[in-house]
Amino acid sequence: MVLYSFKLNKKFAFTNLFVALQLSVALILMIITVSSIMSRIDDYLPLRKVLSSQGKCVYVSEVNYINDTRFSFTVEDILNAEKNISEIYSGYKTPLVPSGTENYDHSYSYSRNMAELYTPRMLKGKWLDKADKDSDVLEVVVSDSDNYDIGDIISFYNLNNEEKTYSAKVIGILADDAKVLGLEGSNENVLDFRDMYKHMESECFFFSSEQIEKMRIGLTLYGQMFVTYKNNLNDSELLDLNRNLYKYGSNLGLSDELNINSKNYIKEDIILIFPIALCVLFLVVISEVVAVSIQTKRELKFYAVLNICGATKKHCIIINLLCSLFVSLVGIIIAVIFVLINYNSLSSSFIINFDFVQIFVCSIIVIMNMLLSVIIPYKILSKKAIIEVLKK
């Protein structure tokens, strides 16, 4: 049967090549579409729980002034003052500077719950959510892969007390294009979840706030702090809380403003790109149906001859299936080669990833194509008697 499918493919090489090309276009388009949607969803998902909650995104400047009095707050201060807060996710600035440098303002920390919310793309090692809170050794994640490797020990001094030095072990290195959460510079122009992330353009160091606190190094709230409220607050309690949070920084509503904007941004992709991809897929399906129908009808005599020699409909279907498998493989190879050759130009204009979801969607398309190559011949062969075909 492999021989017969090969001969059929050879006989209809031009048509099958056309079908394979169409399939490859559909696959590439689907990968781009799914990658685009998934990249939006992937960045939204870590924040979904927070953005769906009642609460505020508070941009905490390093120092706050109330009536000309300078204040700096800790999370404990806020939690003690506001009993209706459920949880606070926060980032910090840390006064650690690599020894022998003057790289101030490049050390940050995250609370454990903030570190667990989102893991940036790692080149090597692990993120801060895996840091050992009981460790006596300070652990650090670095953004620079050129100068550091996993296990390296970096010496830091404390900006607030230069005589105090600390050794930190590198447990992770961020990927070059990694984004981090919650260290965006302000609350201006923050519309949706995308604005919560930031690419670190220079060498940065990230610590666990638990370890920093344990070693009494010093922390200052910085960046975007997510404050979620307890459930079932009445209107009056909500109003008080919303008002009080302005003491700590400028803020935006989580579930109303930011969440709505975030969902609209994701829907944009689905509404715009997905229908185009579906249309292309529809055209591919129609082409496959037409090509397989024409091929089957032209080869009815071939199938009839096989039939009188002892083949069943099942054998004929398997021959078609093998033909389709070959065409699908050619389509996949064309798609892969095209993407590899044009990866740089494609990735500058589109997001292209190849994860489980993309593989799953592409597999569905290929399987659907192959099923059509089985169902249509089966329908055609079922309707035609061998004698009728042989008489023609």
Partner 1 sequence: MIKLNNIVKIYNPKKANEFKALHEVSCEINDGEMIAIIGKSGAGKSTLLHILACIDSYQEGEYIIDETLVKNLSERQYAKIRNEKIGMVMQDFALVEDFTALENVMIPLNFSKQKIKGKKEKALAALKSVGIEDLAKKPCNKLSGGQKQRVAIARAIVNEPSMILADEPTGALDSKTSEEIMDLFKSLNKHGKTIVIVTHDPKIANQCDRIIEISDGRILS
For partner 1, the binding residues (CB under 8 A) are 1, 3, 7, 11, 301-302, 304-315, 385-387, 390
Tell me phi and psi for residue 298, to 5 degrees. -70, -25
**Cβ distance to partner 1 smaller for residue 191 or 390:** 390
Q: Cβ of residue 297: shortest distance to partner 1, in angstroms? A: 16
**Cβ distance to partner 1 smaller for residue 70 or 314:** 314
**Cβ distance to partner 1 smaller for residue 24 or 320:** 320
Q: Cβ of residue 292: shortest distance to partner 1, in angstroms? A: 19
**Cβ distance to partner 1 smaller for residue 49 or 379:** 379
What is the 8-class DSSP label of residue 230?
P
The distance in angstroms from the start CA to the end CA of the chain is: 25
C-alpha 21, offset from chain centre: 28
Question: What is the identity of the amino acid at 65?
Answer: Y
Coil, strand or helix at 137: coil
Q: Cβ of residue 20: shortest distance to partner 1, in angstroms? A: 21
Q: Cβ of residue 300: shortest distance to partner 1, in angstroms? A: 12
Closest residue by Cα to residue 207 from 163, 141, 135, 295: 141
Query: How far apart are the C-alpha atoms of 255 and 239, rounded to whole Å?
Result: 15
Q: Where are the alpha helices (DSSP H) in the chain?
A: 2-11, 13-51, 75-81, 112-117, 209-214, 235-244, 259-298, 300-308, 313-341, 343-349, 356-383, 386-391
Closest residue by Cα to residue 89 from 75, 103, 102, 101: 75
**Cβ distance to partner 1 smaller for residue 150 or 305:** 305
Q: What angle do CA 253, 258, 262 make, to 5 degrees?
A: 165
**Cβ distance to partner 1 smaller for residue 175 or 390:** 390
**Cβ distance to partner 1 smaller for residue 16 or 158:** 16
**Cβ distance to partner 1 smaller for residue 306 or 370:** 306
Q: Cβ of residue 299: shortest distance to partner 1, in angstroms? A: 9
Q: Cβ of residue 308: shortest distance to partner 1, in angstroms? A: 5
Q: Cβ of residue 383: shortest distance to partner 1, in angstroms? A: 14
Residues 346 and 268 sit within 8 Å (Cβ to Cβ): no
Place of tokens 């101030």: 104
Q: What is the 3-state secondary structure of 324-341?
A: HHHHHHHHHHHHHHHHHH
Q: Cβ of residue 327: shortest distance to partner 1, in angstroms? A: 19
